């Protein structure tokens, strides 16, 4: 379907693509992975015919794309979704009107369009919002609408640039299930980039890119099988003691922490020595689980991300920074937030989780004084949000879902502007500017235009701007959406440092379930209601008591395996290249699950019982109250 040979692309002095050669077979789900700024979006735009290469050969669906005329010839057979919230949509049109417009633009017969529209709306959960204007949708819902507009004509080739950024886990799973079905049943080819490595594991093939070059291409399993390490997941009591011990005994091993879970890349040749050390000299732990190397490990190895300095979160302080009681917000007849009460203490990170449209952003906008509540009360930093929005905003830092700075200004100019807006001048402004650039690691790009920065650096710039005036409370609305794994880890290390060193209170919404492990508490919302409020470990233990153990099975065809298990009445869901399901002990796996899959010709390469994940908690709670 796609053939690239020796493709080059420059933007001024910046090399975006350098000697890229790549082939994408027909009927495959082909993925591009790599850090921000690797050249993935540039490559996709060249394939789509909306950007011309400087040199090299580009062939798409049998057409040599070397002029505007040839580029026009391929556009009828492909669908393109660019990176960014709602960039291919029309803000004043409703959900249904956007779909009708794209169906008409692509000459889809009306009867066929109605059928596809119904299917796509149901798949994405947008049916109740079909009459709502696109501009009034949440960011994640805009992303889902953009997805289905690109699929309405069922193109031969679909090009999706990070299509599930800002989309909740349940909707992501539904999207990948549909895309896999289209690829398998209708022979469609999909070229997709993603920042989520569990999604990348679902691709038939992936290309790992860095600095405009393709480093390796192959099936995910084949690429990870070549890695010389396995991954140990260790539940630790004291992360700082483990950090010290690892630095002394195994200093070169890649490691990172998610809450109290240590992820460690153990060289296969040294596993026996490491297990002996675990039994004799290692700090205390609560359990260890082994997994094969995955794409996240491949990504971090390519990025040369070796060690993460862990900052153990201190207990929250006694004083409450945010107090909300029965907050409600209605838009006409629609209730976006329904009598939600919560509190956040000083020095506490509270994660706000929920499906798209659950009311998370609306709740944050009320607490920050940007949106008046219909009813209920709240105090932020001791100030009532009613009638005191300006006083509230002076005491807080707010990082919106969209990048909210000025792309034409440099990093330093953006920070200076926001410093002055917050009332900083002279020596105090210079002092805070120097602190922000050094703290965020942006001093080397201080004079670069903000719009030219990779996404991870832009998000750090937005965070720095929100912190210039030294607020005691920070609101972050999906701050790492679309940021690559290394960038996300860096971002969260900065948040933990703020919490540890300065006692900043934080309310953070996210769709990345592993990020919830870094929070003291998690508040979960559904359809405007609060349905859970507890530490991550408590939620996972409650799930275990309700549903049993979580078994993970390594299978070659995860979607087919999921379908078989669901048809048999088992509670299963795809998780990367694995299928996870709740079981009551090992006997149920060996006695029931494995025979079911073998009967359908599905091979299970391995399985194990794992501790529940926050993604499993999310799926269980959101689906369980439906």
Query: Which neighbouring-strand residues pair with 287?
Result: 235
pLDDT digits (tens, 9 = 90+) for 398-408: 998 777 789 99
pLDDT digits (tens, 9 = 90+) for 558-614: 889 999 999 999 988 888 778 999 998 899 999 999 999 999 999 898 898 988 889
Tell me if residue 570 falls in helix, strand or coil.
coil
pTM: 0.86
Instruction: Verify that 103 and 58 share a domain, yes or no.
Output: yes
The percentage of the chain sitting over the pLDDT mark of 70, rounded to a whole number, equals 97
Instruction: Verify that 383 and 504 share a domain, yes or no.
Output: yes
Q: Is residue 15 part of a domain?
A: yes
Which CATH number fits the domain that encloses residue 268? 3.30.70
Which CATH number fits the domain that encloses residue 588? 3.30.70.100
Reported confidence tier of residue 312, pLDDT bands at 50, 70, 90? low
**Does 297 have pLDDT greater than 90?**
no
Instruction: Verify that 94 and 199 share a domain, yes or no.
Output: yes
Q: Is residue 55 part of a domain?
A: yes
Burial 144-161 (b: 16+ CB within 10 A, else e): bbbbbbbbbbebbbbbbb
Stretch 92-105: mean pLDDT: 95
Q: Is residue 414 part of a domain?
A: yes
Instruction: Verify that 587 and 529 share a domain, yes or no.
Output: no
Instruction: Verify that 152 and 9 share a domain, yes or no.
Output: yes
Instruction: Verify that 448 and 570 share a domain, yes or no.
Output: no
User: The domain containing residue 113 runs over which residues?
Assistant: 2-219
DSSP assignment of 381-432 equals TTEESSS-HHHHHHHEEEE-SS--S-TTSBHHHHHHHHHHHTT--HHHHHHH
Q: Is residue 314 part of a domain?
A: no
Cα dihedral: 35, 90, 362, 359 (round 10): -80
Domain boundary among 504, 534, 564: 534
In angstroms, the CA 463 to CA 477 distance is: 11
Q: Is residue 353 part of a domain?
A: yes
| Residue 427: partners with Cβ closer than 8 Å, 6 or more residues away | none
Which CATH number fits the domain that encloses residue 176? 3.40.50.300
Residue 309's pLDDT is what? 59
Instruction: Verify that 501 and 579 share a domain, yes or no.
Output: no
Stretch 353-381: mean pLDDT: 92
How many domains does the structure of the chain reveal?
4
Residue 90's pLDDT is what? 93
**Does 481 have pLDDT greater than 90?**
no
């Amino acid at each position: 379907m796609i053939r690239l040979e020796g493709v080059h692309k420059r933007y001024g002095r910046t090399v975006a693509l350098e000697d890229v050669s790549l082939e994408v077979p027909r009927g495959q789900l082909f993925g591009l992975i790599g850090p921000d700024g690797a050249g993935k979006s540039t490559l996709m735009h060249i394939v789509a015919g909306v950007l011309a290469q400087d040199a090299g050969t580009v062939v798409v669906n049998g057409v040599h794309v070397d002029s505007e005329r040839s580029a026009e010839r391929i556009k009828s057979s492909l669908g393109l979704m660019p990176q960014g919230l709602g960039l291919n949509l029309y803000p004043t049109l409703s959900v249904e009107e956007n779909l009708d417009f794209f169906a008409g633009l692509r000459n889809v017969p009306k009867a066929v369009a109605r059928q596809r529209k119904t299917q796509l709306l149901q798949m994405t959960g947008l049916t109740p919002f079909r009459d709502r204007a696109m501009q009034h949708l949440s960011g994640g819902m805009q992303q889902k609408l953009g997805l289905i507009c690109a699929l309405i004509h069922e193109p031969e080739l679909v090009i999706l640039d990070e299509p599930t950024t800002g989309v909740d886990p349940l909707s992501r799973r539904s999207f990948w299930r549909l895309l896999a079905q289209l690829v398998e049943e209708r022979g469609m080819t999909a070229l997709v980039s993603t920042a989520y490595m569990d999604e990348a594991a679902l691709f038939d093939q992936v290309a790992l890119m860095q600095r405009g070059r393709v480093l390796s291409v192959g099936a995910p399993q084949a690429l990870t099988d070549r890695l010389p390490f396995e991954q140990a997941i260790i539940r630790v009591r004291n992360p700082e003691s483990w950090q010290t011990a690892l630095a002394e005994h195994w200093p070169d091993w890649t490691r990172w922490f998610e809450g109290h879970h240590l992820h460690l890349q153990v060289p296969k040749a040294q596993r026996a020595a490491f297990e002996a050390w675990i039994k004799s000299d290692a700090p205390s732990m609560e359990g260890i689980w082994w997994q094969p190397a995955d794409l996240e490990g491949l990504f971090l190895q390519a990025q040369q991300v070796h060690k993460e300095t862990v900052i153990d979160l201190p207990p929250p302080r006694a004083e409450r920074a945010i107090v909300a009681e029965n907050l409600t917000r209605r838009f006409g007849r629609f209730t976006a937030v329904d009598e939600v009460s919560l509190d956040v203490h000083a020095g506490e990170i509270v994660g706000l989780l929920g499906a798209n449209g659950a009311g998370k952003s609306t709740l944050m906008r009320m607490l920050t004084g940007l949106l008046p509540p219909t009813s209920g009360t709240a105090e932020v930093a001791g100030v009532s949000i009613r009638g005191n929005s300006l006083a509230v905003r002076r005491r807080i830092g707010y990082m919106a879902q969209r990048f909210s700075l000025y792309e034409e200004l440099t990093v330093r100019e953006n920070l200076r502007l926001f410093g002055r807006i917050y009332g900083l001048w002279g020596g105090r402004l210079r002092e805070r500017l120097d602190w922000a650039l050094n703290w965020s690691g942006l001093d080397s790009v201080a004079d670069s235009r903000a719009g030219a920065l990779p996404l991870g650096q832009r998000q750090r710039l937005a965070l720095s701007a929100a912190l210039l005036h030294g607020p005691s409370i920070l609101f972050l609305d999906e701050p790492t959406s679309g940021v690559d794994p290394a960038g996300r880890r860096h971002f969260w290390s900065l948040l933990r440092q703020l919490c540890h060193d300065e006692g900043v209170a934080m309310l953070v919404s996210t769709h990345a379930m592993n990020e919830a492990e870094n929070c003291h508490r998690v508040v979960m919302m559904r359809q405007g209601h609060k349905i859970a409020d507890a530490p991550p470990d408590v939620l996972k233990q409650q799930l275990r008591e309700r549903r049993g153990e979580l078994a993970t099975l390594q299978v070659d065809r995860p979607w087919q395996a999921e379908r078989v298990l669901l048809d048999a009445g088992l509670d299963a869901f795809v998780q990367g290249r694995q299928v996870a399901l709740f079981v009551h002990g090992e006997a149920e796996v060996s006695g029931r699950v494995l025979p079911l899959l073998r009967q359908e010709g599905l091979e299970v390469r391995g399985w194990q019982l794992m501790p529940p994940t926050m993604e499993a908690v999310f799926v269980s709670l959101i689906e369980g109250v439906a």
